[in-house]
Amino acid sequence: MSADPNCIFCKIIEKKTPASVVHEDEHAIAFEDVNPQAPVHTLIVPKKHIPDIHSITVADRELVGHLFFVARKIAAQKGLEKNGYRMVINNGPGAGQTVLHIHLHLLSGRAFHWPPG
Ligand code: 5GP
Ligand code: ZN
Protein backbone atom coordinates (compact mmCIF):
# COMPACT_ATOMS: atom_id res chain seq x y z
CA MET A 1 0.00 0.00 0.00
CA SER A 2 1.88 3.07 -1.26
CA ALA A 3 1.34 5.61 1.51
CA ASP A 4 2.51 9.22 1.28
CA PRO A 5 3.73 10.37 4.73
CA ASN A 6 2.54 13.93 4.01
CA CYS A 7 -0.97 12.91 2.92
CA ILE A 8 -3.80 13.40 5.42
CA PHE A 9 -5.89 10.60 3.89
CA CYS A 10 -2.95 8.17 4.04
CA LYS A 11 -2.62 9.08 7.73
CA ILE A 12 -6.32 8.29 8.24
CA ILE A 13 -5.89 4.97 6.39
CA GLU A 14 -2.93 4.12 8.62
CA LYS A 15 -4.94 5.14 11.73
CA LYS A 16 -2.37 7.83 12.57
CA THR A 17 -5.13 10.46 12.33
CA PRO A 18 -8.62 9.78 13.72
CA ALA A 19 -11.71 9.81 11.53
CA SER A 20 -15.33 8.73 11.76
CA VAL A 21 -15.04 5.61 9.60
CA VAL A 22 -18.27 4.23 8.12
CA HIS A 23 -16.75 1.54 5.86
CA GLU A 24 -13.42 -0.18 5.51
CA ASP A 25 -12.23 -3.11 3.43
CA GLU A 26 -8.98 -4.30 1.86
CA HIS A 27 -9.03 -1.68 -0.88
CA ALA A 28 -10.99 1.34 0.36
CA ILE A 29 -12.05 3.35 3.38
CA ALA A 30 -14.96 5.75 3.83
CA PHE A 31 -15.29 8.35 6.56
CA GLU A 32 -17.32 11.43 7.38
CA ASP A 33 -15.95 14.73 6.04
CA VAL A 34 -14.54 16.86 8.87
CA ASN A 35 -16.13 19.98 7.32
CA PRO A 36 -19.49 18.73 5.99
CA GLN A 37 -21.15 20.67 3.17
CA ALA A 38 -24.48 18.84 3.58
CA PRO A 39 -26.23 16.78 6.29
CA VAL A 40 -24.61 13.71 4.68
CA HIS A 41 -21.04 14.24 3.51
CA THR A 42 -18.98 11.07 3.33
CA LEU A 43 -15.65 10.58 1.55
CA ILE A 44 -14.84 7.31 -0.22
CA VAL A 45 -11.10 6.85 -0.58
CA PRO A 46 -8.89 4.15 -2.11
CA LYS A 47 -6.23 2.83 0.25
CA LYS A 48 -3.69 3.24 -2.54
CA HIS A 49 -2.30 6.78 -2.68
CA ILE A 50 -3.38 8.03 -6.12
CA PRO A 51 -2.93 11.82 -6.22
CA ASP A 52 -5.42 12.68 -8.96
CA ILE A 53 -7.49 11.29 -11.82
CA HIS A 54 -4.58 11.55 -14.26
CA SER A 55 -2.47 9.32 -12.01
CA ILE A 56 -4.91 6.41 -12.43
CA THR A 57 -3.31 3.53 -14.34
CA VAL A 58 -4.80 0.60 -16.23
CA ALA A 59 -4.12 -1.54 -13.15
CA ASP A 60 -6.31 0.79 -11.05
CA ARG A 61 -9.50 0.37 -13.08
CA GLU A 62 -11.04 -2.23 -10.80
CA LEU A 63 -10.09 -0.20 -7.73
CA VAL A 64 -11.73 2.94 -9.12
CA GLY A 65 -14.89 0.97 -9.88
CA HIS A 66 -14.83 -0.38 -6.34
CA LEU A 67 -15.11 3.17 -4.98
CA PHE A 68 -18.52 3.47 -6.66
CA PHE A 69 -19.54 0.10 -5.28
CA VAL A 70 -18.67 1.28 -1.75
CA ALA A 71 -20.49 4.59 -2.32
CA ARG A 72 -23.59 2.71 -3.42
CA LYS A 73 -23.46 0.54 -0.30
CA ILE A 74 -23.11 3.56 2.02
CA ALA A 75 -25.91 5.41 0.22
CA ALA A 76 -28.17 2.40 0.72
CA GLN A 77 -27.18 2.09 4.41
CA LYS A 78 -27.98 5.76 4.95
CA GLY A 79 -31.33 5.41 3.15
CA LEU A 80 -30.45 7.84 0.37
CA GLU A 81 -31.67 5.81 -2.61
CA LYS A 82 -35.18 7.27 -2.82
CA ASN A 83 -34.42 10.97 -2.53
CA GLY A 84 -31.01 10.78 -4.21
CA TYR A 85 -27.60 12.13 -3.59
CA ARG A 86 -24.77 13.88 -5.34
CA MET A 87 -21.31 12.42 -5.94
CA VAL A 88 -18.45 14.77 -6.69
CA ILE A 89 -14.78 14.48 -7.61
CA ASN A 90 -12.82 17.70 -7.52
CA ASN A 91 -9.77 17.22 -9.74
CA GLY A 92 -7.02 19.83 -9.78
CA PRO A 93 -6.77 23.27 -8.19
CA GLY A 94 -9.26 24.91 -10.56
CA ALA A 95 -11.92 22.43 -9.48
CA GLY A 96 -11.17 22.90 -5.78
CA GLN A 97 -9.19 19.74 -5.04
CA THR A 98 -7.45 20.32 -1.72
CA VAL A 99 -6.36 16.77 -0.79
CA LEU A 100 -4.11 15.13 -3.40
CA HIS A 101 -5.40 11.59 -2.84
CA ILE A 102 -8.42 10.78 -5.01
CA HIS A 103 -11.79 10.54 -3.28
CA LEU A 104 -15.48 10.52 -4.01
CA HIS A 105 -17.65 12.99 -2.10
CA LEU A 106 -21.07 11.52 -1.28
CA LEU A 107 -23.46 14.36 -0.42
CA SER A 108 -27.13 14.28 0.52
CA GLY A 109 -29.79 15.68 2.83
CA ARG A 110 -30.37 19.05 1.18
CA ALA A 111 -31.26 20.47 -2.24
CA PHE A 112 -28.46 20.61 -4.80
CA HIS A 113 -28.39 23.01 -7.69
CA TRP A 114 -27.23 22.71 -11.26
CA PRO A 115 -24.90 23.98 -12.57
CA PRO A 116 -22.79 23.39 -9.45
CA GLY A 117 -20.90 26.27 -7.86
P1 5GP B 1 -11.31 18.15 -1.96
O2 5GP B 1 -11.32 19.62 -1.63
O3 5GP B 1 -9.91 17.66 -2.19
O4 5GP B 1 -12.25 17.75 -3.05
O5 5GP B 1 -11.90 17.43 -0.68
C6 5GP B 1 -11.15 17.25 0.48
C7 5GP B 1 -12.13 17.05 1.60
O8 5GP B 1 -11.45 16.47 2.69
C9 5GP B 1 -12.76 18.34 2.12
O10 5GP B 1 -14.16 18.27 2.01
C11 5GP B 1 -12.27 18.43 3.56
O12 5GP B 1 -13.25 18.96 4.43
C13 5GP B 1 -11.93 16.99 3.88
N14 5GP B 1 -10.87 16.84 4.84
C15 5GP B 1 -9.68 17.49 4.84
N16 5GP B 1 -8.93 17.08 5.89
C17 5GP B 1 -9.67 16.15 6.55
C18 5GP B 1 -9.43 15.37 7.74
O19 5GP B 1 -8.39 15.44 8.38
N20 5GP B 1 -10.43 14.53 8.13
C21 5GP B 1 -11.61 14.42 7.42
N22 5GP B 1 -12.51 13.56 7.93
N23 5GP B 1 -11.86 15.15 6.31
C24 5GP B 1 -10.91 15.99 5.89
ZN1 ZN C 1 -2.58 9.56 0.35
Residue-level pLDDT, tens digit, the chain, 117 residues: 568 999 999 999 999 999 999 999 999 999 999 999 999 999 999 999 999 999 999 999 999 999 999 999 999 999 999 999 999 999 999 999 999 999 999 999 999 999 998
Q: Given this model, what pLDDT does residue 104 score?
A: 98
pLDDT at 117: 85
**Residue 65 DSSP symbol:** H
For residue 51, give every residue at least 6 positions away whose Cβ sits within 8 Å of its Cβ, in sequence order, or none: 100, 101, 102
Residues with active-site annotation:
103
Atom number, ligand 1, closest to the C-alpha of residue 100 = 3
Q: How far is the CA of 102 from the centre of ligand 1 (A)?
A: 11
- Confidence (pLDDT) at 1: 56
pLDDT score of 48: 98
Q: Whose CA is nearest to atom 13 of ligand 1?
A: 33
Residue having the nearest C-alpha atom to atom 20 of ligand 1: 34
CA-to-CA separations, 30 to 64, 72, 79, 93, 114, in angstroms, rounded = 14, 12, 16, 23, 26
